[in-house]
Amino acid sequence: MASIKPCNRDILSAIQHKIDHKTKPLGALGGLEEIALQVALIQQTDTPHLTKPSMVVFAADHGIAREGVSAFPQEVTVQMVQNFLHGGAAINVFCKQHDIELHIVDAGVNADLPKYPNLIQKPVGKGTASFLSGKAMSLEACGQALKSGEEVTLKISQSGSNIIGFGEMGIGNTSSASILTSMLCRLPLRDCVGKGTGLNESQWQKKVDVLQEALDFHQLSPESDSIDILTTFGGFEIAMMAGAMMKAAELGMVVLVDGFIATSAFLVAHALQPAILDYAIFCHVSEEPGHKKALDFLKAKPILHLNMRLGEGTGAAVAYPVIQSAVNFLNEMASFEEAGVSEKDEVKPV
Ligand SMILES: Cc1cc2ncn([C@H]3O[C@H](COP(=O)(O)O)[C@@H](O)[C@H]3O)c2cc1C
Ligand SMILES: O=C(O)c1cccnc1
């Protein structure tokens, strides 16, 4: 498994000095300053650059989808994968807009997909088992998913990308994310269950009941091994995303975390390798109530608050230009010295 080192902070004060001496009042670029500092620390330079931004959407099916926990049937997963491959989904639009290279990974959808140029085929199975009455996947399948995720990231990194976003598609996967969030953040289940693709109140209550039944059946606790929690309640795309995220951090890439489901994969990665936090930028806060709680647990400050609840990596793609702006001001904005004004004499507050 990947081994992630915390970012070396020896150059932190030099980067902070560079940020503080730009031609602006101290701290006036707010969150952009924090992002610039973080990217500079990840790349260990005061002139960071973003190269070949990439997005990986991991898709897989979920046995739990057959228990009435989603507003949509399982078949929508493969239909959306085809939509991604034909360029018609929201994530296609935003990646195209920002020149982000989009890769789709079959992590285990319930169909045989033909070859496509941007389809990476790494299926672990034809969907997980329902975790209502058994584990979602075997330990071997989980290991295979984690390893495949690492391979996907390694290949993308070798193509010259140093910033990578993670998204997903899998009908029923907010159910996995809810339980993972509840367990890994030690929160009551109800607080982590949302309406997913659009359940009404009674359907939401049924989702809570099904997930509680699964929790009661398995009798795991937050102290349980995180791999055990992942194999029991996870999905192939969630496990693969966790492996891919860990590898990205190990390689010193900037990791863009999308919404509720991507964050649940991040929680698994974080439980295994806490230093991954140094490499992660949390791109938005989803409407799913468990997402805000997971971000609070991680003490993460998301960039965007747009009430989105789609997944696919859309929040990460939409946030990308903000990160680019952070890097650009650090590289291109003049300092007081360069602008020929003395900070002390002329631009001090009166
Ligand atoms: C057309 C369509 C496109 C999507 N794109 C992402 N999701 C999102 O919704 C699903 C999770 O919600 P739940 O747990 O309620 O099934 C995931 O596939 C997620 O990526 C979609 C869902 C639908 C229906
Ligand atoms: O935030 C997400 O990732 C999300 C929310 C609802 C449905 N699908 C994904």
pLDDT, tens only, 270-310:
999 999 999 999 999 999 999 999 999 999 999 999 999 99
The maximal CA–CA distance of the chain, rounded, in angstroms, is 72
User: How far out from the chain centre does Cα 338 lie?
Assistant: 38
Q: How far apart are CA 202 and CA 66, in angstroms?
A: 17
Tokens encoding 77: 């997963």
Q: Give 286: exposed, middle or buried? Use CB within 10 Å, 0-12, 13-18, 19+.
A: buried
Rounded to the nearest 10°, the torsion over CA 28, 31, 36, 39 is: 170
**171 alpha carbon to ligand 1 midpoint, in Å?**
5
264 in ligand 1 pocket by Cβ < 6 Å?
Answer: no
Q: What is the ipTM of this complex?
A: 0.99
Helix (H) or strand (E) holding 270: helix 260-272
Contact 62, 171 (CB under 8 A): yes
The question of whether 312 is a catalytic residue gets the answer yes
User: What's the CA-to-centroid distance between 272 and ligand 1, angstroms?
Assistant: 27
Residues in the chain, pLDDT under 50: none
3-class SS of residue 335: strand
**150 Cβ below 6 A of ligand 1:** no
Q: Is the CB of 311 under 6 A from ligand 2?
A: yes
Helix axes 260-272, 173-184, angle to 10 degrees: 40
Q: Does residue 311's CB lie within 6 angstroms of at least one atom of ligand 1? A: yes
Given the residues 33, 67, 168, 312, select the one marked as catalytic. Answer: 312
Q: Tell me, what's the pLDDT at 347?
A: 58
Instruction: Answer yes or no: is the C-beta of 57 below 6 A from any ligand 1 atom.
Output: no
Distance between Cα 343 and ligand 2 center (Å): 47
Please tell me the predicted confidence (pLDDT) of residue 201: 98
Beta strands 280-282 and 101-108 are unpaired
Q: Name the closest-CA residue to atom 9, ligand 1.
A: 197
Question: Ligand 1 atom closest to Cα of 168?
Answer: 20
Q: Is the pTM of this model over 0.90?
A: yes
